[in-house]
Structure 1
Amino acid sequence: MEPLGISNYRLAKAIGVSETAVGEIIKGKRGISVAMAHRLGKALNTSAEFWMNLQRDYEIFTFDPSTVENIQPLVPQQPLVTE
């Protein structure tokens, strides 16, 4: 938000949430909900989908796959079909 010259306080007031909520999102301590994605989209002239995609990408990037290593497949892997 620095390149846009928008402070956490200004954004929080514009979208009707606390400055703490904005700060926690920026620090990666709070996720972006659908409602927040819509608020950010309106305030920053982007789409809600943009913000939801950022949230999804962040969750994939920060997820530790070793936490699900003990799961055995229930369905055999399907071969790749090339045409």
Structure 2
Amino acid sequence: MLKLLTPVHPGEILREEYLKPLAMSAGALARKLNVPRTRIERLASEQTPVTTDTALRLAKYFRTTPDFWLNLQSSYDLSSQAPALQEELDAIEEIDHAT
């Protein structure tokens, strides 16, 4: 399978597309979202995933949708974890729809 792009962590999107253009720190955003500073710092540094709670808060603040943030996370997780499971996935026989 051809790998075209490396997975993009939602924290990179948060940092590069939202925080940097707004000249906003992770701590300042955390205060706006009423969450611990470390939650946003760890997300922006790509150490932790976007949770449902955080997705709801980011969506409200940035006028996006929670699905936007959760889809970024889901896509990242699938792209990151698939290679590690490839051998096991290859060993799974697909269902025969003819029966």
CA RMSD of aligned residues (A): 2.0
Name structure 2 gaps, 5 residues minimum. Answer: 1-18
TM-score by length of 1: 0.77
Report the equivalent of 1:50: 68
* C-alpha separation in 2, matches of 1:66 and 1:8: 31
Which of the pair has the greater relative contact order for Cα pairs under 8 Å at 6+ separation? 2
Deviation at 1:2, TM superposition (A): 1.0
* C-alpha separation in 2, matches of 1:77 and 1:16: 51
Report the equivalent of 2:35: 17
* C-alpha separation in 2, matches of 1:74 and 1:16: 48
The structure 1 segments of at least 4 consecutive aligned residues displaced by more than 4 Å after TM superposition are none
Report the equivalent of 1:65: 83
Deviation at 1:12, TM superposition (A): 0.3
**Which has the larger helix fraction?**
2
How many pairs are equivalent?
78
TM-score by length of 2: 0.66
Deviation at 1:66, TM superposition (A): 3.1
Report the structure number with the largest CA radius of gyration: 1
Structure 2 counterpart of 1:49, which letter? D
Please identify, of 59-68 and 31-40, the stretch whose mean Cα deviation from structure 2 is larger: 59-68
Please identify, of 67-76 and 45-54, the stretch whose mean Cα deviation from structure 2 is larger: 67-76
